[in-house]
Structure 1
Amino acid sequence: MSEEETRVVRHDERSRYELFADGELAGFARYAERGNQTVFTHTEIDEAFGGRGLGQVLAKAALDDVVERGRVIVAVCPFIAGYLKRHPGYQDHVRRAEGTSAG
């Protein structure tokens, strides 16, 4: 990844974490909050920002925020589920989505 400046913001009104790269919206991870769970449903990085590892930046920041807030992670989104499989440090904060094989 280049030296671009990135930041991730939780945008509660839109129910998503937004990733900005060099001041531009580069992608988002949509979620739904149910009780103490944050259920990730969809993650998207704009094509113009592809291939820079920004999805990893977004996933880490979003998941770290969920953990910091004492919430439980549920990954319905395949991208977030894949990230969790590659980063087992989140395991104590993850629950399987009911009726799915995600998690």
Structure 2
Amino acid sequence: MTDITVTRNDEESRYEIRSGDVLAGFAAFDLRPGSIRFLHTEIDDEFQGQGLAGKLASAALTDAAGRGEAIVPLCPYIAKYLETHEIEGAEIRWPRPRTADSE
């Protein structure tokens, strides 16, 4: 079985998941003072259906919470993951829905 690893790449502003030494996907983020905004999660087609998105989300969110960064889930996948999974120690700042008045 191939090793699955998740690492934070601050230069690329993303968490990366690898299958062996092959990049299988990433979760892009934007750092702000005291918070991390998750923007987009993507798994390469070759790795679809292997549960890698969930492993990536779990590792990235756990790491961010461990660093004391408040999590802002702008990515729909990360938001859905947070609705169904508990991340110990996580401070979550849910984005406010846009209204006609705020546009």
Tell me if both proteins adopt one fold, taking TM over 0.5 as the criterion.
Answer: yes
Decide whether the 8 Å contact of 1:29 with 1:42 is kept in 2: yes
Where does structure 2 lack aligned partners over 5 or more consecutive residues? Answer: 99-103
Deviation at 1:90, TM superposition (A): 5.1
| CA displacement 1:17-54 (0-9 Å, x = unmatched) | 00001221000000001111100000000000000000
TM-score of the aligned structures, taking structure 1 as reference length: 0.88
Deviation at 1:92, TM superposition (A): 4.8
Distance 1:90 1:41 in 2: 21
RMSD over equivalenced CA pairs, Å: 1.8
Decide whether the 8 Å contact of 1:84 with 1:90 is kept in 2: no
Where does structure 1 lack aligned partners over 5 or more consecutive residues? Answer: none
Instruction: Name whichever structure is richer in helix by fraction.
Output: 1
| 1:14-93 equivalences in 2 (<5 Å) | 14-89=12-87, 92-93=90-91
Distance 1:98 1:78 in 2: 14
| 1:5-20 equivalences in 2 (<5 Å) | 5-20=3-18
Distance 1:89 1:7 in 2: 19
Distance 1:87 1:19, change over 3 A: same
How many equivalent residue pairs?
99
Identity of aligned residues (%): 43
Distance 1:48 1:26 in 2: 8
Distance 2:89 2:4 in 1: 26
Decide whether the 8 Å contact of 1:37 with 1:71 is kept in 2: yes
